[in-house]
Amino acid sequence: MADMAMFLGALLIVYVVPGPDMILLLETGVLRGRGQALAVAVGLAIARAAHVTLAALGLAALFKTHPWAFDAARTVGGCYLVWLGVRLLRAGPVSYDATGQAPASRAGLGPALLSGVLTNVLNPKALLFCSVLLPQFVSPAQGPIGQQFAVLGVILVSLGLALDVLCALAGGAVGRWMSASPRAQKIQSRVFGLALIGFGLRLTVAQRPA
């Protein structure tokens, strides 16, 4: 029980610290509506599930034995975040309709889901986090290793999804509240855009795993 409490505590610390995932969720909720933000949350959950699977298979070790793989992943991931940030800086104010929905919220959810997947899955540090954290709470004495990884992975993905849904709903609520102020929307777009660009640049210079 104590180990589980430590595991949950470690996850909460990581999830509540602002990062590209949280920025993307809030930005999407504010500027494109609650539905789009929830789709991003699902995409992030899919990406985390992929990272857990790769960590269980030991593929994170590829970054240590082949540093070029880490460099390639961080470069692609960083450029993607910078592209998202630049696109956001160029976005105009959003006009909500009489039902309180942003125009984008009535569009297909596929692009939003894909942006959630790519933002997380292209971040090699997310895979390294899973590969470092999960083994700390796995013990052969407690049963099959694969089963333990599966349980911890479900907890990791579920907790992340729950918190992401809260961010998505909060972003959607703020967006409706700000719908009457194009100037406030523009300021928020710039803040979120610059934050994503900053995270992208930071990722491109991330240190290789030792």
Give the pTM. Answer: 0.79
DSSP, residue by residue, 54-92: HHHTTGGGHHHH-HHHHHHHHHHHHHHHHHHHHHHHT--
Q: Residue 157 and residue 55: Cα distance in Å, rounded? A: 13
DSSP 123: -
Q: Which pLDDT score, from 0 to 100, does residue 58 have?
A: 77
**pLDDT tens, position by position, 104-128:** 545 578 999 999 999 999 888 888 8
Question: How would you class 86 by CB atoms within 10 Å of its CB: exposed for 0-12, middle for 13-18, buried for 19 or more?
Answer: middle
pLDDT score recorded for residue 55: 85
Residue with the bigger pLDDT between 68 and 7: it is: 7
Cα separation, 120 vs 187, in Å, equals 25
